[in-house]
Amino acid sequence: MVARIPHGRVATYGQIAAEAGLLRRARLAGYALRHAPEALALPWHRVLNAQGRISLPAGSTAAARQRERLQAEGVELVNGRVDLKRYRWQPRSDAPLLD
């Protein structure tokens, strides 16, 4: 599901989990992302928490990298927060499921 998030758009952990058929398992989405093989080259930076904020340790290099990548693709952060109303990815209901 993360791989489907288009350039310049974002999704939340809960949203990813739900779309993957795992309603209410947002933490699992985070767990999966943390353990995902680097080789998959997933656009992990497009996943934010329900408040539109980065969920990596504030001040960490990882958080800084995520912020940079987002801005690099045009996603604006206001006070460290992304306006989900404006950037949230809305998957097409008729999109073919993986597998």
Residues of this chain that interact with DNA (CB under 7 A) are: 12-15, 24-31, 33-34, 44-45, 47, 49-51, 55-56, 62, 66, 79
Residue among 7 and 27 whose Cβ is closer to DNA: 27
CB of 13 to DNA, least distance (A): 3
Residue among 5 and 26 whose Cβ is closer to DNA: 26
SS3 81: strand
Identify each DSSP E strand in the chain by its residue range. Answer: 11-12, 47-48, 77-78, 81-82
Query: Which DSSP string do the residues of 47-62 spell out, in sequence order?
Result: EE-TTSB--SPTT-HH
Residue among 85 and 92 whose Cβ is closer to DNA: 85
Could you tell me which residues are beta bridge partners of residue 82?
A: 77
